[in-house]
Structure 1
Amino acid sequence: MNKSAKVTTTRTAAIAAVAATTAFVMMGNVVSAAPVGPIDPVQATEGFLVMTEGNATLIGTENEGTLAVGGDLVFAQYQLAVVSAGNFFAPGENNPTALVVDGQVDFVNSLPATRLQVLQSGYAKIGNLTDTFVRNFDNNNAPANTRILPANDYDAAPRIELVTNQSVPSVGPVSVIDFAEAFQTFRSNSTELATCQNTVVLQDPNGNPISSPIPPGTNAVINLSSNTTNVLNINSTDLDNISVLTFADQPTANGPLLVNVNTTDVGDTFAWTAPNFAGIGGPEARFILFNFPTATALTLAPGGATVEGTIYAPRADFTDLDQSNTEGSIITRTLEHRGGEIHDYPFSTTLACDSASPTASPTATPTTTPSGTPTADPTVTPTVTPSPTGTDLPITGSSSGSMLFAGSLAVLTGTALLLTIGLTHRRRRSAGS
């Protein structure tokens, strides 16, 4: 056998061993690329900027867009629809609905003597009006802007105030959104998007790849490609250690950024101090989605910067304690808004990618065994190409939202096999000489 044939045999055997070992390590599944999407992750919001499956608490300070609450609502002094009342129109109505509460307005636990103002002539829809009074005439029986009250007194407080006269029957009791179905869709989307293969490598300002673990205070630079969904898979500890995230390229509708955040390293309870987002603002935030597929509790910690992008955490109780703003949609199981403003930059594109998804179940042992005894020239050794640094390997999701990160182990095992083969060749050549 000539030298070329020997080298080919060696590489073929090595590749076969890596493939078989990878299949075995990946939890009994053969991994192959599969298309995901295109997915519009916010389609089921019906156009609402912020949407919760359960309760919402609004303490400070405002939401420039709209709000749909699947449970009960507690509030303090707060403004809603500061910029836009949205585009959700109930049948037969000319004013958009800016506020939906599928449960009750909880006046007892709301802050006394406060008002939740719904601006831009937006309407409100309340699912349960128990112990609630709706009036569109004042205490002198004159027509007035509609108020939702804890007592049959137009000046009672705490209260919800509209800046338009909405008819009393129009307010409720009425259910206009199927929240259970919507959040089933959100969770399915979140899990599926989490399987997207990583395509983005973070770099330092000098252009060097940043490897994990990322040190605290890191300035990370992100380069984006056009005409594709850019995917960054990262664990929560690494994300929290980035103090500045600089965009060398701005995301667009055709080149959005999907950030899959694996929170299993912190038990799916993540307090995030948001970094400074350099090089982008609100208009670009419409094309960034932070996906937290398994998080059950998510907090924006005090002292962070403005988040540029959508918070997509349909399994999580979300608490905003940061006085900086969020520019993007918010989709979470529950919400406590105690921080800065929510700006009206809803997610505005679709996402599509290749995923590493289970397609078959192999036997418990590798079914492909290298045949023959490689006798390659000792000067020719297999070339091992490292995976991109600075990011986690692709996340593998399941219908239950579990995240399988066995890809790292598979690559390391395969690399060890390649090096072992090369070392065996050297020893055999040395023994025969």
Structure 2
Amino acid sequence: MHLRTPGRRARRLSLAGAVTLTAAAAATAIAFNAAGTGPTAMAAAVAIDPLAPALNFNTFVEDRTTLVSTESEGPMATGGDLVIKGSYNVDIHGEATFTAPGDARPSALVVGGKIDYSQDPATSVVRVEGDGYVKVGDMTGTDVVNNDVNGAVVNTRLTAQGAGYDSTPRIELTTRQPEASVGPASPIDFDAAFAQLRANANDLYVCEAHEIEMHTPDGTAVPKGGVAPGDQIRITLEPGVTNILNVTGEDLNNMSELTFSAQPSADTPLLINVDTSGTGGELDWDVPNQAGAGGGNGAPYILWNFKDTTRLDIVSGDTVEGSILAPDADFRDVSPENVEGQVIAKNALFGDVGENGGEVHYFPFRAQLECESDEPTPSATTDGPTTEAPTTDGPTDCPSVSPSESTGTPSEEPSTDAPTSDAPTTDGPTTAVPSASESPSGGADETTGDCVPLATTGSSLGPVVFGAVALVVVGAGVVAAASMRRRGRQN
């Protein structure tokens, strides 16, 4: 007979205690995860090109577009009527990339509705350059003319019905387009495109990425809505992330200058969310100078998001560096300065009688903006049970709707090496999880057959009680075993 030293006994009790705590912790984790009170998984980051539905058009308008002055360097598309009210040049650099099925050339000008020739019959000519085609959804009142008054084969013109080759207003091409390819059909689904553009604008407005602060030259922080008239505003971009600047329309008009610490780039894009609620969703924009960006040097990576703006007029100031996303706005550009990017709007007027509308330069948005999605990523992998719903013989086919299905917003499935099965990934006990019929944590009601949703945090104490019971039961078992061993030694 050999004696057990107090140290060895202490180690045995410590080991027993460790087993007890481990089992209790596992049981408690199962119960808490079943209740939805386990560790909250981080949301997945989703990168999107918010202007992808605009198909690389320099201007992309849902309804009516009116052309007065002066030019768009890239292609134009409008879902409604096109009103010819002055001399305007389209796609002067031949940048069109969208080609309608069956066409030999890309579409430089797409009109979903019809062409309105009634506004200024004396001088109005819309010239489509770059050898691109014109597409018209409603040919009512339009003739496609491919021969001049002498019958010679010439480049295509679109004129008012019966008016003739040299009449004005007109649309004239720098190439010859087959008459049958002009219309009557729009190759673009503008309704679907703008539904997605609006969804993107809404998502970007609440984007959870890297929000940056405004500062004056002396380093004083300026909050959203706090820009004073004449303020010179500085912003510092963090490399390698989507930078977000939240401002009001009044902020934009008050600042005399917006200076970037570094040029925005493909991996360091800038999203500017503009809140115009303080002026009833309307803004007469006096554009500040944007120092540190321009043309191909930063503009393709800047997006101005006017989510809820219903009227946006560019009336004065400097060139807009970047693309404008204003899917609900009546857009009007009567400033002689330019827009260095795409224009997305509900209706658009480029120039006006006596007003130079400047130019829209072809610097389409070229960045992926990264935001947090509503789709959670899987929690960290462990050797214990996963946080998925328990597998039982009870009903498990209650329907569910993912966040991306309920909101219609784009999301990506998170990629991970973590286990994705519902079954626990351990050899430990798995019978401690109550079935759907035994617990209020989820499943189908046995009496009515109705689906009972999973409990959310704080919605049920059942799993918490279960965890406490598990602690007591396992602990009591260890105590009983230790007591039996002591009695055996005493005998």
When normalised by structure 1's length, the TM-score is 0.73
CA offsets 1:80-100 (integer angstroms, 9 cap, x no match)? 001234101122333111000
Q: Secondary structure at the match of 1:224?
A: coil
Report the alpha carbon displacement of residue 142 of structure 1 after superposing the two structures with TM: 1.1
Distance 1:134 1:240 in 2: 45
Aligned partner of 2:234 in structure 1 is 221
AA paired with 1:352?
A: E
Quick one: which of 173, 182, 198 aligns to 2:193? 182
Quick one: which of 236, 241, 244 aligns to 2:254? 241
The reply to whether residue 58 of structure 1 matches residue 96 of structure 2 is no
Distance 2:341 2:365 in 1: 6
Report the alpha carbon displacement of residue 263 of structure 1 after superposing the two structures with TM: 1.1
CA offsets 1:1-29 (integer angstroms, 9 cap, x no match)? xxxxxxxxxxxxxxxxxxxxxxxxxxxxx
The reply to whether residue 195 of structure 1 matches residue 206 of structure 2 is yes
Which ranges in structure 2 are unaligned for 5 or more consecutive residues? 1-39, 352-356, 377-405, 410-491
Q: Secondary structure at the match of 1:286?
A: helix
Q: Secondary structure at the match of 1:220?
A: strand
Conservation of the 8 A alpha-carbon contact between 1:88 and 1:96: yes
Report the alpha carbon displacement of residue 113 of structure 1 after superposing the two structures with TM: 2.5
Structure 1 residues 321 and 32, CA, compared in 2 at 3 Å: closer, same or farther? farther
Conservation of the 8 A alpha-carbon contact between 2:94 and 2:131: no
Structure 1 residues 37 and 358, CA, compared in 2 at 3 Å: closer, same or farther? closer
| 1:296-335 matches, cutoff 5 A | 296-301=310-315, 303-335=316-348
Structure 1 residues 42 and 155, CA, compared in 2 at 3 Å: closer, same or farther? same
Structure 1 residues 32 and 103, CA, compared in 2 at 3 Å: closer, same or farther? farther
Conservation of the 8 A alpha-carbon contact between 2:43 and 2:375: no
Distance 2:51 2:307 in 1: 14
Distance 2:64 2:87 in 1: 17
The reply to whether residue 273 of structure 1 matches residue 268 of structure 2 is no
Quick one: which of 76, 81, 87 aligns to 1:67? 76
Aligned partner of 1:210 in structure 2 is 222
Report the alpha carbon displacement of residue 181 of structure 1 after superposing the two structures with TM: 0.3
Conservation of the 8 A alpha-carbon contact between 1:85 and 1:96: no
CA offsets 1:62-108 (integer angstroms, 9 cap, x no match)? 00001000000112100000123410112233311100000011001
Alignment RMSD (CA, Å): 2.2
Aligned partner of 1:80 in structure 2 is 90
Which ranges in structure 1 are unaligned for 5 or more consecutive residues? 1-30, 360-397, 402-433
Report the alpha carbon displacement of residue 253 of structure 1 after superposing the two structures with TM: 0.5
| 1:9-158 matches, cutoff 5 A | 34-35=43-44, 37-75=46-84, 76-152=86-162, 153-158=164-169
AA paired with 2:313?
A: T
Q: For this pair of structures, how many residues does the alignment match?
A: 331
Report the alpha carbon displacement of residue 400 of structure 1 after superposing the two structures with TM: 12
Distance 1:195 1:358 in 2: 15
Distance 2:369 2:280 in 1: 27
Q: Secondary structure at the match of 1:273?
A: strand
Q: Secondary structure at the match of 2:347?
A: strand
CA offsets 1:90-142 (integer angstroms, 9 cap, x no match)? 22333111000000110012453321000011110001111110011111111
Report the alpha carbon displacement of residue 276 of structure 1 after superposing the two structures with TM: 0.5
When normalised by structure 2's length, the TM-score is 0.65
Structure 1 residues 32 and 259, CA, compared in 2 at 3 Å: closer, same or farther? farther
The reply to whether residue 251 of structure 1 matches residue 264 of structure 2 is yes
Quick one: which of 328, 346, 368 aligns to 1:350? 368
Q: Secondary structure at the match of 2:117?
A: coil
Report the alpha carbon displacement of residue 59 of structure 1 after superposing the two structures with TM: 0.8
Aligned partner of 2:359 in structure 1 is 341
CA offsets 1:283-339 (integer angstroms, 9 cap, x no match)? 1110000001111111112x2100001110101111111111000010010101111
Distance 1:112 1:358 in 2: 58
Conservation of the 8 A alpha-carbon contact between 1:121 and 1:164: yes
CA offsets 1:249-277 (integer angstroms, 9 cap, x no match)? 11000110000111111111111111011
Structure 1 residues 48 and 277, CA, compared in 2 at 3 Å: closer, same or farther? same
Structure 1 residues 90 and 342, CA, compared in 2 at 3 Å: closer, same or farther? same
CA offsets 1:139-194 (integer angstroms, 9 cap, x no match)? 11111000000133111111000000001111111210000000000000000110
Conservation of the 8 A alpha-carbon contact between 1:191 and 1:399: no
Distance 2:141 2:344 in 1: 29
Q: Secondary structure at the match of 1:282?
A: coil
Is 292-301 or 159-168 further displaced after alignment?
Answer: 292-301
Distance 2:121 2:247 in 1: 39
Conservation of the 8 A alpha-carbon contact between 2:232 and 2:258: yes
Report the alpha carbon displacement of residue 34 of structure 1 after superposing the two structures with TM: 4.3
Conservation of the 8 A alpha-carbon contact between 2:44 and 2:375: no
Report the alpha carbon displacement of residue 353 of structure 1 after superposing the two structures with TM: 2.2
AA paired with 1:92?
A: G
Structure 1 residues 80 and 246, CA, compared in 2 at 3 Å: closer, same or farther? same
Q: Secondary structure at the match of 1:44?
A: helix
The reply to whether residue 289 of structure 1 matches residue 303 of structure 2 is yes
CA offsets 1:211-230 (integer angstroms, 9 cap, x no match)? 44210111111111111100
Distance 1:35 1:332 in 2: 30
Distance 2:408 2:247 in 1: 20
Report the alpha carbon displacement of residue 354 of structure 1 after superposing the two structures with TM: 3.5
The reply to whether residue 172 of structure 1 matches residue 183 of structure 2 is yes
